[in-house]
Amino acid sequence: MFYLLDETCRVLLMEAELGLPAWDTKPWTRVRVDAGVPVAAAVRRDELIWVPSPGDMARRFPATALSAPYPVALAAAPIRADARVHGSWALMWPESHPAGLSLGELAAINRTSERFGRLLANAGAEGRPLRALGQPRTLTAPPAITPDAQWGPAALDCLNRFTDGIAAIDIQGHLTFCNPAAAHLFGLHGPPAWGYRLWDRVPWLHDPAFAHCYRAAVIGQQPTSCLAAPPGGRLLKIRLHPAPSGISLHITPAQAGEHRQEEYAAGGRRSTAIERLP
């Protein structure tokens, strides 16, 4: 997440983000500098803010912990140019990150902050200063592997052989792949659902349990799982395996003894608010 100060220097406006759904960042597009939020604290103190765990977030930034109760570690760094702070940016890691930042990570954060600062300073010197607009761009992570012409069909054949449901969605929730078993379990019939958000084509996934696990997977970048109840059918177990480019879903019938009260077991603590999908 990348923020710049507005003209009043009292509000941080998000200008770009990577790895989060655009619709899920709306509450964070405007942050008051005096707010109890890590990106604001980095600007006020003009220093790196490191929050190594959800427990530390709850102690130091309770409002942030309440609104985003997910298992992450977070670093927020100021962006300096022309001898003053112009904004801040933040990185997130899974909760499994060590309690301290490594020397390599600190060097990378400082180097990136300096590059941001030089970009702002150079733009100002050239008479085209970068101004905060508050209309964040959602950046997309490049794929980890570029398949060749032979690899793609072989991978498709492999996935279609599974009797378990295998599906994929991008960070925004749009369905990008669905094998026949997953289509059957989701109740998808007719034309392909590519380009639609999964829960728009599978309305029973408009559910607080799935919303929580989806957000926990995207934000925490760790596997999560939940139980879902199709109308008139047996419970399904949905396992979410995230990466910066999207989420792979593994869908199977729930085993005997698995119940809906387990649906929040993975991916962080239960939110005090009812979580919903757009």
Give the pLDDT confidence of 190-224 residue by residue, as tens digits. 766 777 899 999 999 998 889 989 999 998 899 99
Does residue 23 have a pLDDT over 70?
A: yes
User: Is the same domain home to 10 and 132?
Assistant: yes
Closest CA to 1 of 52, 77, 110, 94: 77
User: Is the same domain home to 84 and 163?
Assistant: no
Does residue 33 have a pLDDT over 80?
A: yes
In a domain, 272, yes or no: no
pLDDT at 259: 64
User: Is the same domain home to 23 and 97?
Assistant: yes
In a domain, 144, yes or no: no
In a domain, 214, yes or no: yes
**Structure confidence at residue 276 as a pLDDT band (50, 70, 90):** low
CATH of residue 217's domain is: 3.30.450.20
pTM summary value: 0.83
User: Is the same domain home to 125 and 158?
Assistant: no
**Angle, CA 184 vertex, CA 183 and CA 188 arms, to 5°:** 55
CATH of residue 72's domain is: 3.30.450.40
User: Is the same domain home to 12 and 132?
Assistant: yes
pLDDT at 266: 43
Q: Which residues contact 167 (CB under 8 A, 6 or more apart)?
A: 175, 177, 178, 179, 182, 186, 198, 248, 249, 251
DSSP assignments along 17-70, one per residue: EESS-GGGSGGGSEEETTSSSHHHHHHHHTS-EEE-SHHHHHHH-HHHHHH---
User: Is the same domain home to 118 and 26?
Assistant: yes
User: Is the same domain home to 126 and 157?
Assistant: no
Among the candidates 139, 172, 196, a domain finishes at 139
Q: What range defines the domain where residue 191 resides?
A: 151-262
User: Is the same domain home to 197 and 235?
Assistant: yes
**Structure confidence at residue 277 as a pLDDT band (50, 70, 90):** confident
Among the candidates 139, 174, 197, a domain finishes at 139
Give the pLDDT confidence of 102-143 residue by residue, as tens digits. 999 999 999 999 999 999 999 989 989 888 888 888 887 776
User: Is the same domain home to 53 and 133?
Assistant: yes
User: Is the same domain home to 75 and 132?
Assistant: yes
Contact 51, 74 (CB under 8 A): yes
CA distances, 134 to each of 34, 139, 142, 197, 222 (Å):
18, 15, 25, 25, 29
Q: Which residues contact 134 (CB under 8 A, 6 or more apart)?
A: 6, 13, 14, 15, 29, 30
In a domain, 146, yes or no: no
User: In total, how many domains does the chain have?
Assistant: 2
What CA–CA distance (Å, rounded) separates 146 from 241?
A: 20
What CA–CA distance (Å, rounded) separates 104 from 107?
A: 5
User: Is the same domain home to 206 and 107?
Assistant: no
